[in-house]
Structure 1
Amino acid sequence: MSEIITRHDAGEAPVAGEHPDVRWAPAEPAPRPRRLWLKIGLPVAAVVAAATVCSLVLIAPGTTAAGVPVGGQTVGMAADSISSRLSAIELSLGEGGPTVSAADLGASVDASALADEAFAGSPLWNVTSWFAEYGAPTVTLNAERAATTLRAALPGAYIDPTPATVRFQDGAYVSTPAVDGTGISLDAISAALASALVAGEPTATVAAAPEAVPATVTTSAAESAAERLNGMIAEAGFYAGDDRAVPISAADLASWLTVEADTSGDFTISADAAAIQLAVDKLPEVVNQDPVTAEVLTSDAGEVLKTIVEGQDGRVLGDTAGVARDFADQLSQGDASYTLPADITPRETVSTVRLAEVDLSEQRLYLKENGKVVDTWLISSGRDGAVTFTGRYSIGWRTPLQDMTGTSRDTGTKYTQPDVPWVMYFNGNQAFHGAYWHNNFGNQMSAGCVNMPPALAKQLYDWMPDGGDVWIHS
């Protein structure tokens, strides 16, 4: 506590009620707090913190990645160290041969992945993982850059390969095979550089003997392209419905197409829309048509036996704006069948059933179409002992001329009849045919066949299709 001092002026007595002259003595200064720990503790904390951070971002001491020391480095620094070490390696092309650097060859490794692997396995904080080795590097080369560098160093080792080609010739696409060239093995160079990198060697040597260098555009690629293009030729056309209304010739199609190999060795197709447009402009006069009714001969069961008139669908071409461009795009994808915008009127079909009907009691043949008689004439059928069998049959084998041999069923005698004309078999060895050896038609004269004058036999031969219906009755 401060000390109180009282003082009376000389010769003066103190006045009642007044305090004597009082003043406070100044207090002694208090001692300052001790802060030595700040002077020492803060720097130590900073060091500890820095060490902690470093242990979390740095690779452990003594660690190598792909043979490159990366201890005490960050992942980014380690990746740079690996790439730099690789780039500096000098490669000798044969013992005592010319030398090129890995950098000249565009050599590279996935340095980031190697550095990541080293840090993941050996972070600085993990003292048990110090002095570890990581990475089996795969060295890749820039093929174009390496070839240029090596060709300049050893020009005699290089012969350019000949790529396979595809060309149009004599109405079809044909391929020419690829021919290998020669050069220095890039795989061997990559392996030599990888070994030198891991071993920490500044130099490497690779055999300089040339080896086969295949063409980028292979024979198989050219053959496949030619096959694909010839398939396009086979189907090429403008289609209206299912009908190829306008076929496209092989020469025309080839004149529209450009076939080239790309840098990967694959063949690509492009088409000239302007050239296609010239063909599109001519489509209306070819595509537009009136319907035509088809005419066919059928059996009574409905089977089509013969087409008399093919018939055709009616067609009216629609708007062709954009057809050339669209077809060009389609051709580039390998599709040469273009479906036109067209209105189709399906053809009608008229069917006719023809029947050769023989009335044995009348000895007469009737030619009928859809049940109506269109012609008739007298015939001669089998004699009583060699009758023509009744029933429903159809025309089988036929021939315009034949030597007939057989045995008469009624007499048992053998016969030979040469040059029998217009023969049409309908039941085993029974047939319609012409007979030039008698003129007694209207009476039973044959050994079982139905014969008639040769001129009428030819008329029947031409009129009745194979499979046509036959009815023999009494």
Structure 2
Amino acid sequence: MREDFETTQAMPPITPDEAAPLAGTSGTGIVPPAGVAAAAAVPPEDLNIGTTAARKSRKGLIITLSLVAVLLVALVGAFFGARAYYADKVAPGVRFGSASVVGQTRDEVKATVDQAIKDSAVTVKDSNGKSVTASLKDLGVNIDVDQTVDAIMDAKSSSNIGEDILRVNPFGHVDVPLTASTDNAALSDFLSAKLVSDDERAVPSSIAYDANAQAFAATEGRAGKTPKVAKVVSAVKQAIAEPGTAASVSITDETIDTPISLEAAQKAADAANQRLNNKIVMTNGNAKQFELPNDAVASWIKAESRPSQGAITLSYDSVAIKKYMAEQLPGQLNQDMVSQEDIVDGNGSVIVAAQVKGVDGVAVKDTDKAAEQVLDTLKEGNGGTVQVTADVTKFDVKQKQSEWRVVIDKSSQTAVVYHNGQQVKSFLVCTGGPGGNETDSGNWYIYLKYRVQDMRGYNDDGSKYLSPGVKWVSYFNGGEGFHTASWNYGGIASGDPANHGSHGCVNMYEQDAEWIYENCPEGTLVQVVGTQPSGPVR
């Protein structure tokens, strides 16, 4: 070998002459180092063999390390490749009942879950030879497909590299069940309806809302047969844990009293009616409010039978409440801002404050919060007022001079009309009589009109009166107004309210009352001045 040749050339044999001084035979007293002496004692053949073995050992180590490095690179590459491949797919080792899901995409997993749910039917046979094949939904199972898919896709997932290694490890298994809730009462009701005839079936007492009576009423149930459902409940649990496989269960019936007594049902009806009787009032905190109607509240109350507990429990449909509030609150509680209008004289002094009453603008918001408050109030059962959050725009105040003005002078028993400060008409009148019927002095304004109206009221002695078909009515102060008084033309002509006065209104000839009605609009300023005469003034 070339390596041996090079080694022998590098270390030639030592001649006797060269070795003599090293051996100390010249008498110099020099002793060679032990290592040199040992080397000199080794035959050339042995030196060649040792060097070759060392070389071979190093070569083997290098080869081994290289193989290990290649293997590690391959493993790392395989890990990152698998990690990338399964990033949006189901990881190895994930099991979902009897279905194969490894490597499936989200859409594929959803299809697998849907199929597994269909395949998880339970066939129930009773001792009378009746049989029914039911889906999990029939048996009261509420399955969240999306959450189940999420659980499968996320199984063995982690943001940690070390744990990601475990995720792509096909030997690590994770079993994913259906994400579901169960309702054994619904299961029992379904099987009773399918396996027990109507006339034999045990019926629980119940409650229902009577729209005509505006109240909940209890209805008594009856004793009868019901299926023993324990085995079916176990089958349902197994189907949830390991979906995708059909099951068959044999059961028997038993005779029981009504699962829910009339007393228990009446207790639930009373609790529901408490929610209807204790009213909930919605307000915008300003000028508007409304009471929640019984029909709406009743539709939110859900009576849930609990035969296993012998009771009916009340719950509330929060989704329906939110929808109602979002749809109804703006229309019921929003209000436009209305500027207040004060009537002033030529000097700017207020004669009639708030001829038009100011109204704040209100826009309700956050109807979901209002729905939450209503839900809390229903749960408490005590009713109350719920103030809805709203944006409020305060009304402003405007002042204006009345274009039209009517001055009623009780002293002269006349009514003088002014338009923009200029007198345009003067009428003879007869105002209210004595004994509390005198027309009130002060500043008023016309606010309501009728072409024809039946007038009703009370005389001084407490008896009722009726004046049918009164024409040309213009009210300016509560029940006081201008109107035709064909029965009192003598009192108008003489101006004698002391003996022919009204109950507070201003009696006028028909053509004069009509002129006021036609020409003096709502908002016309009416000033009542002067003193009540004790007799005729004309």
Flag whether TM exceeds 0.5 (same fold).
no
In terms of fraction of residues, the more helix-rich structure is 2
What TM-score results when the alignment is normalised by the length of structure 1?
Answer: 0.36
